[in-house]
């Protein structure tokens, strides 16, 4: 465990330290696209955060290669090299997209090629545990197609959810934490060495996300871009493929008596690994709904819009930070709930706890509908939006009403003059311009408007 934690810390430190230089490089390289209609942020923000995350990945794998216990993973398995090859390819495509906005079909082809590179180097699904049947061996083309499909779906699910500051990195970090706990249990509790690469991938993925999050929390100083979102999606998919398709359930017969019983007993555990989309169920659901919604409208499935789940949270009244925290909550509930159920699926307390937490999550979703108010004694400890409104004194109301009345009169005067402008600030500006003319100012054309400036 100490070596995994050391690898995590090294990955996080390298990612964190490189993010600020990468941010300055992105500004110099003009990797700062203009604000689009679907964007939530108000100021142009540099992308290319995936550069720091990729070098954090390389640093983590390099450090693990020089540790006493983790170095065996690189000797006995070719999966770390397969992951690094696929990650380098998908990262390069993401960097080009962050800078030049390449076509969606080109990105899709690059994702499939990256998945194919990993398959060629041995990171593929060889068999599947089926309840009541046992282990089902897959042919080469079946394993290749399933692996490529799993990688592409996971990459795009993470890419689609990357719409708010800190959302994608936080949710993937939560998924990686749940995945790490499962893979570590398989590796050390059952003594199955084939789970060691997946455990290492999860630790490195957590480090990448944790190192980048301080720079990406609201208000974000830098975005990970497609170079980061596609990268972490590929690493998450690679870990799930490593465990699901490489760990032989026959090795668990010593603990459960037979292969069929072993598979049946381990089904709750294999569900979040056979389909890693269960761990990141929210972005996966968002991905499916987006594809259906855009196809129904006759648009391309990759045409961006403002119909994602996080956009809807903002539309119903949640703040930016609260929307992100709500998504974190549901990701943790689904990921760690599946993990707890896999450890002890016979306990009703786990099911009851998941139901109670789900009810709390629904209350949080509906929070803007009723806006609870804190009691008087607790108002100083809560944000202003939860405090009760106190009535103003009569003198304060009169003082506040006087400027408003003056602005209204100025606006009416402007309308009577035929200007067509009913705004008080514009009337005030017109008065200032007339005053400047009286003082002997001369006109100058600035930004298409005739204004007055002093000599």
The tens digit of pLDDT for each residue in 172-211 reads: 999 899 889 888 887 777 777 878 898 999 999 999 999 9
Query: CA gyration radius for the chain?
Result: 28
50 within 8 A of 222, measured Cβ to Cβ: no
Residue 424 CB: number of other CB atoms within 10 A?
18
pLDDT, average across residues 355-381: 73
Residue 28 and residue 98 in one domain: yes
Distances (CA, A) of 305 to 41, 99, 197, 297: 15, 20, 37, 12
- Taking CA atoms, 126 is separated from 191, 237, 270, in Å, by 20, 15, 14
User: 242: helix, coil or strand?
Assistant: helix
Q: Any idea which residue has 């032989």 for tokens?
A: 248
Q: How many domains does the chain have?
A: 2
d(CA 328, CA 323): 9
If asked whether residues 316 and 454 sit together in one domain, one would say no
Distance CA 407, CA 414 (A): 11
- Is there a contact between 272 and 335 (Cβ–Cβ < 8 Å)? yes
Quote the domain boundaries for residue 440.
425-455
Residue 443 sits in the same domain as residue 312: no
Q: For the chain, what is the mean pLDDT?
A: 75
Q: Which of 26-40, 135-149, 204-218, 440-454 has the lowest mean pLDDT?
A: 440-454
User: Is 408 within a domain?
Assistant: no
Considering only residues 445 and 85, tell me which one the structure prediction assigns the higher pLDDT: 85
Which pTM was predicted? Answer: 0.71
Flag whether 384 is in a domain: no
The greatest distance separating any two alpha carbons of the chain, rounded to the nearest whole angstrom, comes to: 100
Please report whether residue 16 resides in a domain: yes
Instruction: Please indicate, yes or no, whether residues 347 and 453 belong to a single structural domain of this protein.
Output: no
Confidence of residue 390 (pLDDT cuts 50, 70, 90): low
Is 60 exceeded by the pLDDT of residue 420?
Answer: no
- Cα separation, 119 vs 125, in Å, equals 9
Query: Where does the pLDDT of residue 366 fall: very low under 50, low under 70, confident under 90, or very high at 90 and above?
Result: confident
Residue with tokens 């008087």, as numbered in its chain: 376
Tokens 């076509």 -> residue: 103
Torsion angles phi and psi, residue 136, rounded to 5: -105, 115
- Residues 448 and 332 reside in one and the same domain: no
* Residue 366 counted as domain residue: yes
What's the CA gap between 186 and 203, in Å, rounded? Answer: 15
Same domain, 358 and 454: no
Q: Does residue 385 form part of some domain?
A: no
434 in the same domain as 295 = no
User: Phi/psi of residue 439, each to 5°?
Assistant: -85, 5
Q: Which of 370, 393, 417 is the last residue of a domain?
A: 370
Token duo for residue 144: 């290749």
405 part of a folded domain: no
Give the model's pLDDT for residue 215. Answer: 93
Residue that is last in its domain, among 350, 370, 390: 370
The answer to whether residue 441 is domain-embedded is yes
- Please state, in angstroms and rounded to a whole number, the distance separating the CA atoms of residues 418 and 21: 55
For residues 23 and 158, state if they share a domain.
Answer: yes
Tell the residue number behind the tokens 């090294």, with chain if given: 10
Q: Are residues 431 and 283 both part of a single domain?
A: no
Q: Return d(Cα 189, Cα 269) in angstroms, integer.
A: 14
- Are 345 and 437 part of one and the same domain? no
- Lowest average pLDDT, out of 56-60, 74-78, 230-234, 411-415, goes to 411-415
Q: Over 80: is that where the pLDDT of 53 sits?
A: yes
Helix (H) or strand (E) holding 296: helix 281-296
Q: Which of 104, 159, 112 is nearest to 284 (CA)?
A: 159
More confident call, 349 vs 23: 23
Q: Which of 197, 233, 198, 211 is nearest to 90 (CA)?
A: 233
What value does the mean pLDDT take over residues 231-257? 73
**Do 431 and 326 belong together in one domain?**
no
Residue 382 lies in a domain: no
Q: How far is CA 315 from CA 86, 168, 281, 309, 324, in A?
A: 38, 19, 22, 10, 13
Tell me: do 192 and 255 sit in the same domain.
Answer: yes
For residue 128, give the H/E element and its range.
strand 127-130
Give the confidence band of 251 by pLDDT, cuts at 50, 70, 90. low
């Amino acid at each position: 465990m100490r070596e995994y934690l050391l690898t995590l810390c090294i990955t996080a430190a390298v990612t964190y330290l490189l993010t600020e230089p990468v941010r300055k490089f992105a500004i110099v390289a003009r990797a700062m696209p203009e604000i689009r209609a679907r964007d939530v942020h108000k100021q142009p923000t540099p992308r290319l955060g995936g550069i720091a995350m990729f070098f954090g990945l390389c640093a983590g794998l390099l450090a693990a290669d020089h540790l006493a216990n983790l170095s065996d993973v690189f000797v006995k398995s070719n999966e770390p090299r397969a992951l690094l090859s696929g990650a380098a390819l998908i990262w390069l495509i993401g960097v080009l997209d962050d800078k030049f906005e390449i076509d969606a079909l080109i990105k899709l082809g690059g994702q499939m090629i990256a998945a194919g590179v990993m398959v060629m180097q041995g990171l593929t699904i060889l068999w599947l545990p089926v309840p009541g049947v046992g282990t089902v061996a897959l042919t080469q083309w079946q394993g290749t197609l399933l692996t490529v499909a799993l990688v592409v779906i996971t990459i795009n699910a993470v890419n689609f959810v990357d719409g708010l500051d800190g959302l994608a990195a936080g949710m993937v970090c939560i998924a990686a934490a749940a995945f790490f706990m499962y893979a570590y249990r398989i590796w050390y509790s059952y003594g199955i060495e084939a789970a060691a690469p997946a455990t290492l991938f999860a630790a490195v993925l957590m480090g990448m996300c944790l190192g980048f999050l301080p720079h990406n929390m609201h208000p974000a100083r830098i975005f990970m871009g497609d170079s980061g979102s596609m990268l972490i999606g590929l690493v998450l998919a690679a870990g799930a493929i490593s465990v699901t398709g490489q760990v032989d359930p026959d090795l668990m017969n010593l603990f459960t008596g037979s292969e069929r019983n072993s598979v049946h007993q381990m089904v709750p555990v294999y569900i979040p690994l056979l389909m890693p989309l269960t761990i990141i169920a929210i972005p996966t659901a968002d991905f499916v709904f987006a594809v259906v919604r855009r196809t129904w409208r006759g648009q391309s499935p990759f045409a961006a819009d403002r119909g994602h789940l996080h956009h809807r949270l903002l539309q119903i009244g949640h703040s930016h930070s609260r929307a992100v925290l709500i998504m974190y909550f549901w990701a943790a509930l689904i990921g760690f709930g599946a993990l707890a159920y896999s450890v002890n699926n016979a306990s009703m307390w786990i099911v009851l706890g998941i139901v109670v937490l789900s009810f709390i999550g629904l209350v949080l979703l509906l929070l803007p509908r009723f806006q609870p108010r804190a009691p008087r004694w607790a108002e100083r400890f809560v944000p202003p939006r939860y405090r009760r409104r106190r009535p103003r004194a009569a003198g304060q109301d009169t003082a506040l009403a006087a400027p408003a009345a003056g602005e209204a009169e100025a606006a009416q005067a402007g309308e009577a003059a035929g200007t067509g402008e009913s705004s008080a600030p514009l009337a005030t500006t017109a008065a200032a311009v007339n005053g400047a003319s009286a003082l002997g100012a001369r006109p100058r054309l600035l930004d298409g408007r005739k204004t007055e400036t002093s000599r």
